[in-house]
Amino acid sequence: MKAIASLEVGQTPEVLERLSKEAIPAEIRTVTQESGLELSEIMVEDSFYERGCEVVETWYSQQLAAAKKRSGVYCRKCGSRNYDRTWVERVGYTYKCKVCGYDFAC
């Protein structure tokens, strides 16, 4: 058995579901780190290791993309979150930065 991921306990069901869709049998092993934080290691048979890693990587990059999306709107020029939002017909929302005056759409 090899570990393909160490995850926070709440993150495992989603990854396990993806693994089962790919017909990759997996087991969970809970490890307690020195800091006292509990992590779930996802273990697969050696022969499933590479495919398992791919599933985890795909899941992880989707998590990152979703987190980025949630972090919301910011000025593309100076990074400020201080902006005015205007609805423009057929364009959607446009934004004007209150700090540097840059206009941007999202």
Q: Which residues bind Zn ion (CB under 5 A)?
A: 75, 77-78, 80, 97, 99-100, 102
Residue 65 vs 99, nearer CB to Zn ion: 99
How is residue 47 written in tokens?
């022969």
38: left (phi over 0), alpha (psi -120 to 50) or beta: beta
Residue 49 vs 102, nearer CB to Zn ion: 102
Residue 73 vs 100, nearer CB to Zn ion: 100
Element (H, E) at 97: strand 92-97
The least distance separating Zn ion from the CB of residue 65, rounded to whole angstroms, comes to: 24
The least distance separating Zn ion from the CB of residue 87, rounded to whole angstroms, comes to: 20
Of the candidates 42, 46, 74, which has an alpha carbon nearest to the alpha carbon of residue 55?
42
